[in-house]
């Protein structure tokens, strides 16, 4: 190692700070142990230097844990020599090719940890032995012990190839292929356009052919129908010889529905495809109530199953063969028992016409269900809702292209004190919130003393978005919440497009690391109480409101570029306080929807483009939370400038003494990542380390 890299003689705290400078999330472990000191470490693991300083001030001998997964941008291959890990890896490399050189640590027990970049579009979970004996993976929800931590046997973890001098390698495709679970798998119900994509065509056509055969069609009729469906619905169509093979194969089966629970299930599935479906992720039946799918809450699916059985009874009356008619009716009458009906539904769950994994639903960020149809937000087109849109949520109003909202426009103008630029921005921001996009990677914070319209604005937006809106406690975004509380709160927000939270009292600290994560397009993993863990892609935009601005620990550009601050400085008291304003605005919801749609189209043309008033307010808030802000204002900034790192830290110490302000940053190691957070790089020269882009 060079002098740039912390050595084992330096404190664990300084090394933890060096990992934070790499963007890794760190948490403390028990001394000479692998167990975390924090019970909710997955939520609390941090890349905030101030938090790291506090932890290692409290536990100076703590080992260092590095959280793996997308948030740190790494996953780790753990090679255990006691379980034949090197031999297994050698066999894999002989079969697939060598692993690239990457940052590698020798563990205290003699094993190896290979650090790799976390790939985009792939979910890598923790696993033990999935690749073979002695090879484990640490991915989402995992962590590794990092140098210079001490193993329980007293030996240190040591870098063989350190991450400062050696770039982390991308894992080869063969390794990802063995490990990865795709975050977006093809779904059996089409792609929301009415077309059946490659990978689903054969299954879908076979299912359709089976339905035709059960209805009594012969091979020629089935082939003719399948050929038409193939060209009309499959994208691209299957080759004709494959369609012929499907028709030939299905025609070998006897026509009609068997006198069995399975036969009843097939009849039910054929008759109600597009009207009911079974979601295997939630283990619930859903009914299509245009324009959305709704969970069955009152036993409607059981009534439909009984209706299907009675339809078969009606058809059986026309059977000419007396004995067959008697057998058929006898079976179908017995099928009306509670046990038989439930057996039909149990079998129908797996029928391809009805079975859905859950990944099909709410996948289209530019479709918006309204009471009377669906809006395509990219062009403002209004149309009927279709079952294969797979929407489960709906706004709180219908679409009326002629509706207006004069009182709403007056209200928005008043709360922003007639600032036309700010009003236009808010219209774009609300239009953006209608979508399922999170590509702006931001959250909105409305602040100002009470009686200024924040609560009314949020109330109307929630009424407008209907099912797409969720209100949560402000504590969801506060730092003093437990991991379990945060997870349960966040899992309840799946599918939302608008999330609001308000607080009128004095707030402590924002959970800035969590806000940075959920505003950054990363998937959210967690579980609700008594449910299995699951992962979803957030589609919501967070709108916070408070009378006072809370404390924020994060000083990095990565957090503050996500902040959009909306000032509310106009108070409505006395004659200006309209007691009936809420009901007046709710009466204008169809017009407010049109106003928001115009904002959505404006956003797509112009982007969010926050005005200077919002940017300046956010910058002032950032300055209040940055221990180096005032000091750095005394420095010169420029591309060709540089200063020795030790000199800049000494100048900071002198500044604090001269100005009589507390010296929050106590060491040069803690000082470095905070300076780098402001965009200045540190370079090693022959005569020392220098910060580039800044000078005294």
* Structure tokens, 207: 């299912």
Q: Does the pLDDT of residue 184 top 50, yes or no?
A: no
Nearest in space to 310 (alpha carbons), one of 341, 352, 351, 273: 341
* 489 vs 112: which has the higher pLDDT: 112
Name the band, by pLDDT with cuts 50, 70 and 90, for residue 4: very low
Q: Does the pLDDT of residue 181 top 50, yes or no?
A: no
* 289 vs 630: which has the higher pLDDT: 289
- Work out the angle at residue 586's Cα, subtended by the Cα atoms of residues 584 and 587, and round it to the nearest 5 degrees: 65
* DSSP assignment letter at 154: S
* pLDDT attached to residue 2: 41
pLDDT tens digits, 585-619: 999 999 999 999 999 999 999 999 999 999 999 98
Name the band, by pLDDT with cuts 50, 70 and 90, for residue 421: very high
Q: Is 278:355 a contact under the CB 8 Å cutoff?
A: yes
* DSSP assignment letter at 6: P
Name the band, by pLDDT with cuts 50, 70 and 90, for residue 186: very low
Rounded average pLDDT over 149-173: 90
pLDDT tens digits, 238-273: 899 999 998 888 888 777 788 999 999 998 998 888
* 480 vs 370: which has the higher pLDDT: 370
Rounded average pLDDT over 444-472: 94
* pLDDT attached to residue 593: 98
Domains present along the chain, CATH in parentheses: 12-182 (no CATH), 196-356 (no CATH), 406-622 (3.40.50.300), 627-695 (1.10.10.10)
Among all chains, which residue has been given the structure tokens 């803690």? 670
Name residues whose C-beta falls within 8 Å of residue 125's C-beta, 6 or more positions apart in sequence.
137, 139, 140, 141, 181
pLDDT tens digits, 224-245: 778 777 877 788 888 999 999 9
CA distance 650 to 418: 48
* 155 vs 9: which has the higher pLDDT: 155
Q: Does the pLDDT of residue 483 top 60, yes or no?
A: no
Q: Does the pLDDT of residue 480 top 70, yes or no?
A: no
* 528 vs 144: which has the higher pLDDT: 144
Q: Which segments of 231-282 are extended strands (E)?
A: 234-235, 276-279
Rounded average pLDDT over 566-594: 90
* pLDDT attached to residue 144: 96
* pLDDT attached to residue 122: 55
pLDDT tens digits, 283-342: 999 999 999 999 999 999 999 999 999 988 887 876 777 888 899 899 999 999 999 999
Alpha carbon distance, N-terminus to C-terminus of the chain: 31
* 494 vs 176: which has the higher pLDDT: 494
Whole-structure pTM value: 0.64
- Return the percentage of the chain with pLDDT > 70, whole number: 92
Q: Which segments of 438-586 are extended strands (E)?
A: 443-447, 469-471, 498-503, 524-526, 534-536, 541-546, 563-567
Nearest in space to 377 (alpha carbons), one of 593, 610, 608: 593
* 483 vs 398: which has the higher pLDDT: 398
């Amino acid at each position: 190692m060079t002098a740039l890299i912390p050595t084992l003689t330096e404190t664990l705290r300084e090394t933890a700070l060096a990992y934070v400078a790499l963007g890794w999330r760190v948490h403390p472990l028990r001394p000479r142990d692998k167990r975390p000191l924090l019970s909710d470490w997955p939520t609390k693991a941090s890349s905030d230097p101030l938090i790291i300083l506090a932890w290692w001030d409290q536990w100076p001998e703590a080992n260092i844990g590095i959280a793996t997964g997308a948030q740190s941008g790494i996953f780790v291959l753990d090679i255990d020599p006691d379980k034949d890990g090197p031999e297994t890896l050698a066999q894999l490399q002989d079969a697939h090719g060598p692993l690239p050189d990457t940052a590698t640590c020798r563990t205290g027990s003699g094993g190896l940890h290979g650090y790799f970049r976390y790939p985009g579009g792939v979910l890598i979970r923790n696993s033990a032995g999935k690749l073979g004996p002695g090879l484990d993976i640490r991915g989402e929800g995992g962590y590794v012990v990092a140098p210079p931590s001490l193993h329980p046997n007293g030996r240190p973890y040591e870098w063989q190839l350190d991450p400062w001098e050696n770039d982390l390698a991308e894992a080869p495709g063969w390794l990802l292929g063995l490990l990865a679970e795709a975050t977006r798998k093809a779904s059996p119900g089409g792609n929301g356009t009415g077309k059946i994509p490659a990978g689903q065509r054969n299954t879908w056509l076979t299912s359709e052919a089976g339905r035709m055969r059960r209805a009594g069609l012969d091979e020629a009729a089935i082939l003719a129908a399948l050929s038409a469906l193939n060209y009309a619905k499959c994208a691209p169509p299957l080759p004709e010889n494959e369609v012929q093979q499907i028709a030939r194969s299905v025609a070998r089966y006897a026509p009609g529905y068997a006198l069995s629970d399975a036969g009843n299930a097939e009849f039910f599935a054929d008759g109600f495809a597009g009207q009911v479906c079974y979601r295997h992720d939630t283990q619930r039946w859903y009914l299509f109530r245009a324009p959305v799918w709704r969970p069955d809450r009152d036993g409607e699916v059981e009534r439909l199953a009984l209706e299907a059985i009675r339809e078969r009874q009606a058809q059986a009356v026309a059977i000419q063969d007396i004995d067959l008619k008697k057998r058929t009716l006898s079976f179908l009458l017995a099928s009306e028992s509670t046990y038989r009906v439930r057996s039909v539904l149990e079998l129908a769950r797996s029928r391809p016409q009805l079975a859905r994994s859950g990944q099909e639903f709410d996948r289209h960020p530019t479709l918006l269900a309204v009471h009377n149809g669906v809006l395509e937000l990219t062009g403002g087109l209004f149309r009927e809702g279709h079952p294969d849109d797979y929407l489960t949520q709906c706004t709180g109003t219908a679409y009326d292209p002629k509706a207006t909202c004069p009182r709403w426009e007056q209200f928005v103008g008043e709360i922003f004190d007639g600032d036309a630029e700010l009003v236009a921005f808010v219209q774009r921001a609300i239009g953006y919130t209608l979508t399922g996009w999170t590509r702006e990677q931001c959250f909105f914070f409305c602040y100002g003393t009470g009686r200024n319209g924040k609560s009314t604005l949020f109330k109307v937006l929630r009424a407008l978005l209907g099912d797409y809106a969720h209100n949560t406690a402000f504590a969801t975004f506060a730092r003093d919440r437990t991991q379990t509380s945060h997870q349960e709160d966040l899992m309840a927000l799946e599918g939302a497009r608008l999330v609001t939270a308000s607080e009128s009292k004095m707030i402590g600290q924002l959970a800035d690391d969590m806000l940075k994560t959920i505003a950054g397009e990363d998937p959210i993993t967690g579980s609700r109480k008594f449910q299995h863990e699951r992962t979803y892609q957030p589609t919501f935009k967070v709108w916070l409101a408070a009378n006072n601005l809370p404390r924020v620990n994060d000083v990095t550009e990565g957090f503050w570029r996500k902040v959009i601050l909306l000032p509310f400085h106009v108070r409505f008291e006395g004659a200006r306080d309209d007691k009936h304003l809420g009901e007046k605005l709710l009466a204008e919801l169809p017009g407010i929807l049109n106003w928001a749609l115009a904002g959505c189209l404006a956003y797509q043309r112009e982007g969010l483009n926050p005005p200077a008033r919002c940017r300046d307010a956010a910058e002032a808030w950032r300055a209040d939370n940055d221990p180096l802000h005032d000091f750095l204002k005394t420095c010169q900034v420029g591309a060709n400038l540089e200063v020795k790192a030790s000199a800049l830290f000494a100048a900071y110490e002198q500044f604090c003494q001269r100005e009589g302000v507390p010296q929050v940053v106590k060491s040069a190691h803690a000082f470095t990542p905070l300076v780098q957070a402001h965009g200045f790089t540190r370079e090693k020269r022959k005569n020392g380390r220098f910060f580039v882009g800044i000078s005294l």
